[in-house]
Amino acid sequence: MDDLDKFCCQNKNCTKHGIRGEKNIHVRAVYGPNKTRLLYCTVCKKKFAETRGTIFFDARLPKEKVVSLLKHVVEGNGRAEDRTFAESRSRHRKSLHKARR
């Protein structure tokens, strides 16, 4: 199965907006430290990051750290979170804020 089937066009004005498995999504480029893929809709010609619409979009922390942070949030383990990420408090606050929305 093509993993691009999990993605759909993010352009609200596109006829394929929100519809998965239509084969209209292709990879245009790969960028950043997390190897984020820039996806491309063949119908409306718009490009968007594969993380668009998720908490990983525009996150400055590595994906693994965001996932780890989320586990702490889910477990309600705020102290462990502070201890583990004390060195990057101000940076991860933004990610946490997104996760709680």
Q: Footprint of Zn ion on this chain (CB under 5 A)? A: 9, 11, 14, 16, 41, 43-44
CB of 19 to Zn ion, least distance (A): 9
Q: How many CA atoms lie within 13 A of 98 on its CB side?
A: 18
CB of 87 to Zn ion, least distance (A): 41
- Which CB sits closer to Zn ion, 11 or 84? 11
- Which CB sits closer to Zn ion, 15 or 77? 15
- Which CB sits closer to Zn ion, 43 or 99? 43
Residues 6+ apart with CB under 8 A from 37: 27, 28, 29, 30, 49, 50
Q: Which residue has the tokens 């408090």?
A: 89
